[in-house]
């Protein structure tokens, strides 16, 4: 409690800047890569443990990420955005909660999806800034090594090429996981203090699964940017390409689907069957892109009242008890979405492997 | 003698271009082998194939008895490779860079720390160990590269153009260091270069590499006899303006072993012989009444061999095109 109060007294951004300064000065830096970097280290103080090459690289990647300005800036942006959405959530908490709503028991989840006064909710912020973070962590993973001339040196050490690629991904994923888990937990703790209602175990589980889905989603974007970093020699090219894909998916894809929807809309006198099929066709089109899968998954997880992601007929709704779905049912509903996200990540990986494995490793 | 590196009918094609063409080469344990050739001769490609960093189009590479294409990781455990224009992580210190390599090679901190410190001292970077590599000079990077190669305790070290871009003094120091370290640890060294003098200094054996083919290999002397079979000795004499050409020629040709006498401009005489008769030649020139101002025995260095070869290839290419 004391810890939380301390955070609340100092404005969050200030604290972050202080933290960033600390990191840069290397004072509070956890010794991730090199325990002691002094040549005069005493031999008996050193560990005699042999680490596998994979973890050696993961350690180095994580240390590099933490020390980089890029991550500091991205984290600062995300934290500020989340602080903003937290304030909105708290301000509009009263409006969002009504005494006789069916999901009345899920007060706490409202905090994550509540929006108002022009500021979007936590979920919307994360779904927007998360990809940016993923792209930021991955877009120069391989080509910067090539440009620095370190690729030939590292790959002439006894390790498999896929280990290197995997370690790069794992390093980024560890940073992302730590960041989002931390952010969500801080968000929750401030929420508990402010609204005075602790989350029920189910709510807590839902939030944890939401965090997991978020990590998968950001992992997809990181993987895509790693794929481009394998494909393109220049870091700038790969960054631009990934951002182009991201913009296309978030902005233009929706417009295109709208266009198709307008063009293929059935007439006024279409049968209900046709209407349903049309609706399903459009939804499936939307679901091709991972951002739609993510938003489907998160809304279902955070709003237990959602019982279907497609069209429902009146016969199906008739006689239902207006109660929220239990966690298991919500999960079942978004299982396909989560599988789709993981699949997208895995296929990016496969493509990156394919172009990296048999490539000739020249110096620079 | 057991062969450490065996290349058999090795070839590598990029589309229609043959970078390495049917290469056969064996390097014995403890040798310092110089791979010599102009830029784009296929030296680097050959080295990449030895480490499994690129796949050969045909033939086989065996390093320490292991197939480098099938088992690259085992090969890389035994071979230290210094790439051309090596790069380090600029934001880490030289010491940290070495530690990273040592850890990738499965060494514990207990082994890696003293070894890295010792190697840094050996290559003369002891005082700069705690400095970020971004601030190192080119020569220092190259020396760090050498330490980086040695930190894994290799059996073979392969250096791709180690002397590129370093000033003459630095080159001398680096080459001496390579020679010293390789003798100390009994390493087999393969180094590629297009600088003949440097290779000549430290290599026990040299392979001449042109357009993907190994055209000759052996020590410098045997190379000169392989490539310049015309005359084993060439004596250059400078004489005064006043002399009688036929008399001189006659006198010279009487000496046993003299095969060819050419008079170049301004009294410069080239005498090709099968044996070393410098003294007799001097006497003959004096006897024919010419003034001898300068007499020297020309020995063939790699430079001449190189040059000689390229004279041949150019003429050869001209022949083909005409």
Complex-level ipTM? 0.79
Q: Is B107 on the interface with A (CB under 8 A)?
A: yes
pLDDT at A310 over 80: no
User: How large is the average pLDDT for residues B213-242?
Assistant: 72
Task: Tell me how close the Cα of A142 comes to any Cα of chain B, in angstroms.
Answer: 13
Across the interface, of A157, A358, A362, the residue whose CB is closest to B104 is A157
Task: Tell me how close the Cα of B95 comes to any Cα of chain A, in angstroms.
Answer: 7
Residue A219: predicted pLDDT: 93
Q: Which residues between 36 and 65 in chain B have a beta carbon less than 8 angstroms from any beta carbon of chain A?
A: 44, 48, 51, 53-55
Residue A21 near residue A128 (C-beta atoms within 8 A): no
Asked if A158 lies within 8 A of B77 by C-beta distance, the reply is yes
Q: Please state which of the ranges A12-16, A332-336, B39-43, B203-207 shows the lowest mean pLDDT.
A: A12-16
CA-to-CA separations, B32 to B10, B51, B185, B291, in angstroms, rounded: 21, 18, 13, 46
Asked if A34 lies within 8 A of B99 by C-beta distance, the reply is yes
Is residue B131 domain-shared with residue B279, that is, in the same domain? no
Residue B167: predicted pLDDT: 85
Is residue B116 domain-shared with residue B262, that is, in the same domain? no
Dihedrals φ, ψ of A233, to 5°? -75, -30
**Percent of all residues in chain A with a pLDDT value above 90, rounded to a whole number:** 40
Task: Tell me how close the Cα of B111 comes to any Cα of chain A, in angstroms.
Answer: 8
Is residue B156 domain-shared with residue B35, that is, in the same domain? yes
Q: Where are the domains of chain A?
A: 2-27+53-247+347-357
Provide the CB-side half-sphere exposure for A354 (13 A, CA).
7
Count other C-beta atoms under 10 Å from residue B21's C-beta.
16
Measure the CA–CA gap between B27 and B230, rounded to whole angstroms: 29
Residue B301: predicted pLDDT: 59
Is residue B141 domain-shared with residue B271, that is, in the same domain? no
pLDDT at B1 over 80: no
Q: Give chain B positions within 8 Å (CB) of A34.
A: 96, 99
Task: Tell me how close the Cα of A357 comes to any Cα of chain B, in angstroms.
Answer: 10
User: What is the three-class DSSP state of B38?
Assistant: coil
Is residue B197 domain-shared with residue B238, that is, in the same domain? no
Asked if A148 lies within 8 A of B87 by C-beta distance, the reply is yes
User: What is the three-class DSSP state of B157?
Assistant: strand
Is residue B148 domain-shared with residue B257, that is, in the same domain? no
C-alpha dihedral, A40 to A41 to A42 to A44, nearest 10°: -150
Across the interface, of A38, A153, A158, the residue whose CB is closest to B105 is A158
Q: Is B90 on the interface with A (CB under 8 A)?
A: yes
Look at residues A271, A62, A68, A266 and name the one whose alpha carbon lies nearest to residue A174. A62
b/e B6-18 (16+ beta carbons within 10 angstroms → b):
bbeebbbeeeeeb
Containing domain of residue B260, as a range? 229-298
pLDDT at A10 over 70: no
Asked if B93 lies within 8 A of A37 by C-beta distance, the reply is yes
pLDDT at A175 over 90: yes
CATH number of the domain where residue B80 is located: 3.40.50.300
User: How large is the average pLDDT for residues B183-195?
Assistant: 87
Is residue B85 domain-shared with residue B216, that is, in the same domain? yes
Q: Considering the domain boundaries, does residue B312 fall inside one?
A: no
Measure the CA–CA gap between A139 and A70, rounded to whole angstroms: 12
Residue A36: predicted pLDDT: 47
Q: Which of residues B211, B226, B241 is at a domain's end?
A: B226
**Percent of all residues in chain A with a pLDDT value above 70, rounded to a whole number:** 84
User: How large is the average pLDDT for residues B105-133?
Assistant: 91
Q: Is A360 on the interface with B (CB under 8 A)?
A: yes
pLDDT digits over B233-283, tens only? 778 788 877 667 777 788 888 887 787 777 776 777 778 777 777 888 888
* DSSP 8-state code for residue A31: -
Dihedrals φ, ψ of A128, to 5°? -90, -45
* DSSP 8-state code for residue B193: E
* DSSP 8-state code for residue B42: S
> Binning pLDDT at 50, 70 and 90, where does residue A3 land?
very low
Residue B31 near residue B56 (C-beta atoms within 8 A): no
User: What is the three-class DSSP state of B166?
Assistant: coil
Across the interface, of A43, A56, A363, the residue whose CB is closest to B110 is A43
Q: Considering the domain boundaries, does residue B308 fall inside one?
A: no
Q: Considering the domain boundaries, does residue B244 fall inside one?
A: yes
Identify each DSSP E strand in chain A by its residue range.
none
Residue B95: predicted pLDDT: 94
pLDDT at A19 over 70: no
Q: Considering the domain boundaries, does residue B209 fall inside one?
A: yes
Measure the CA–CA gap between B239 and B234, rounded to whole angstroms: 16
Closest CA in chain B for residue A155: B53
| Cβ-proximal residues to A31 (8 Å cutoff; 6+ apart), any chain | none
Is residue B113 domain-shared with residue B51, that is, in the same domain? yes
Average pLDDT across chain B, whole number: 83
* Best residue in B70, B110, B149, B156 for a mutation probing chain A (most A CBs within 10 Å): B110
Count other C-beta atoms under 10 Å from residue B115's C-beta.
19
Measure the CA–CA gap between B83 and A362, rounded to whole angstroms: 8
The Cα diameter of chain A in Å comes to 85
Average pLDDT across chain A, whole number: 82
Look at residues B2, B31, B26 and name the one whose alpha carbon lies nearest to residue B189. B31
Q: Give chain B positions within 8 Å (CB) of A152.
A: 53, 81, 83, 86-87
| Cβ-proximal residues to A361 (8 Å cutoff; 6+ apart), any chain | A151, A152, A155, B48, B53, B54
Asked if A156 lies within 8 A of B84 by C-beta distance, the reply is no
| Cβ-proximal residues to B7 (8 Å cutoff; 6+ apart), any chain | B23, B24, B25, B26, B46, B50, B59, B60, B61, B62
Is residue B244 domain-shared with residue B140, that is, in the same domain? no
pLDDT at B81 over 90: yes
Residue B280 near residue B309 (C-beta atoms within 8 A): no
CATH number of the domain where residue B255 is located: 3.30.70.100
Count other C-beta atoms under 10 Å from residue B287's C-beta.
13
Structural domain count of chain B? 2
Closest CA in chain A for residue B90: A148
Q: Is A5 on the interface with B (CB under 8 A)?
A: no
User: How large is the average pLDDT for residues A239-246?
Assistant: 94
Q: Which of residues B226, B253, B270 is at a domain's end?
A: B226
pLDDT digits over A176-194, tens only? 999 999 999 998 898 888 8
Measure the CA–CA gap between A206 and A186, rounded to whole angstroms: 16
Task: Tell me how close the Cα of A179 comes to any Cα of chain B, in angstroms.
Answer: 24
Asked if B44 lies within 8 A of A41 by C-beta distance, the reply is no
Q: Give chain B positions within 8 Å (CB) of A39.
A: 95, 113, 116-117, 120, 126, 129-130
> Binning pLDDT at 50, 70 and 90, where does residue B227 land?
low
Residue B240: predicted pLDDT: 76
């Amino acid at each position: 409690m004391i810890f939380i109060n301390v955070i609340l007294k100092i404005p969050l951004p200030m604290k972050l800047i202080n933290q960033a300064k600390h990191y840069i000065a290397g004072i509070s830096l956890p010794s991730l890569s090199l325990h002691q970097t002094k040549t005069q280290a005493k031999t008996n103080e050193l560990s005699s443990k042999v680490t596998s090459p994979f973890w050696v690289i993961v350690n180095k990647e994580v240390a590099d990420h933490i020390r980089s300005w890029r991550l500091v800036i991205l984290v600062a942006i995300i934290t500020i955005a989340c602080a903003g959405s937290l304030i909105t959530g708290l301000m509009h908490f009263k409006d969002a909660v009504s005494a006789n709503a069916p999901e009345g028991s899920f007060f706490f989840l409202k905090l994550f999806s509540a929006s108002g006064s022009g500021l979007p909710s936590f979920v919307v912020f994360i779904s927007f800034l998360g990809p940016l973070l993923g792209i930021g962590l991955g877009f120069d993973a391989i080509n910067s090594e090539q440009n620095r001339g370190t690729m030939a040196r590292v790959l002439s050490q006894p390790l498999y090429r896929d280990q290197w690629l995997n370690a790069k991904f794992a390093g980024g994923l560890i940073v992302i996981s730590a960041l989002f888990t931390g952010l969500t937990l801080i968000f929750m703790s401030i929420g508990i203090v402010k609204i005075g209602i602790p989350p029920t175990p189910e709510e807590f589980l839902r939030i944890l699964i939401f965090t997991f889905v978020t990590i998968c989603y950001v992992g997809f974007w990181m993987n895509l940017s790693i794929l481009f970093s394998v494909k393109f020699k220049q870091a700038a090219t790969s960054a631009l390409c990934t951002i182009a894909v991201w913009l296309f998916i978030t902005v233009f894809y929706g417009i295109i689907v709208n266009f198709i929807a307008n063009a293929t809309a059935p007439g006024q006198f279409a049968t209900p069957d046709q209407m349903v099929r049309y609706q399903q066709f459009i939804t499936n089109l939307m679901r091709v892109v991972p951002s739609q899968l993510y938003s489907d998954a998160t809304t279902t997880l955070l709003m237990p009242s959602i019982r279907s992601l497609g069209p429902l007929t009146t016969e199906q709704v008739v006689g239902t008890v207006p109660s929220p779905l239990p966690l298991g049912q919500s999960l079942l509903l978004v299982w396909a979405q989560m599988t789709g996200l993981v699949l997208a990540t895995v296929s990016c990986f496969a493509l990156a492997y394919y172009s990296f494995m048999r490539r000739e490793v020249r110096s620079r | 003698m057991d062969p450490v590196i065996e290349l058999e009918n090795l070839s590598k094609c990029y589309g229609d271009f043959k970078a390495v063409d049917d290469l056969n080469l064996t390097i014995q344990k403890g040798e310092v082998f110089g791979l010599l050739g102009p830029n784009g001769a296929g030296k680097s490609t050959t080295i990449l194939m030895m480490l499994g960093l690129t796949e050969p189009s045909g033939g086989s590479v065996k390093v320490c008895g292991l197939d480098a294409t099938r088992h690259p990781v085992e090969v890389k455990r035994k071979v230290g490779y210094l790439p051309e224009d090596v790069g380090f992580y600029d934001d880490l210190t030289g010491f940290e860079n070495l530690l990273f390599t040592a850890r990738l090679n499965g060494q514990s901190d207990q082994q890696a720390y003293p070894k890295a410190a010792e190697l840094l001292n050996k290559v003369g970077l002891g005082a700069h160990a705690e400095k970020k590599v971004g601030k190192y000079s080119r020569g220092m990077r190259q020396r760090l590269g050498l330490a980086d190669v040695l930190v894994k305790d290799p059996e073979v070290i392969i250096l791709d153009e180690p002397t590129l871009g370093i000033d003459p003094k630095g080159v001398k120091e680096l080459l001496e260091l390579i020679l010293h370290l390789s003798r100390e640890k009994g390493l087999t060294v393969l180094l590629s270069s297009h600088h003949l003098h440097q290779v000549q200094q430290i290599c026990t054996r040299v392979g001449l590499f042109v357009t993907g083919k190994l055209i000759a290999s052996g020590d410098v002397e045997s190379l000169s006899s392989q490539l310049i079979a015309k005359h084993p000795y060439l004596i250059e004499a400078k004489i005064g303006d006043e002399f009688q050409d036929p008399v001189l020629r006659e006198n010279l040709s009487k000496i046993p072993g003299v095969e060819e006498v050419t008079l170049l401009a301004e009294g410069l005489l080239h005498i090709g012989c099968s044996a070393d008769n410098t003294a007799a030649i001097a006497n003959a020139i004096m006897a024919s009444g010419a003034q001898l101002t300068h007499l020297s025995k020309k020995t063939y260095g790699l430079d001449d061999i190189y040059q000689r070869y390229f004279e041949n290839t150019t003429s050869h290419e001209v022949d083909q095109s005409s």
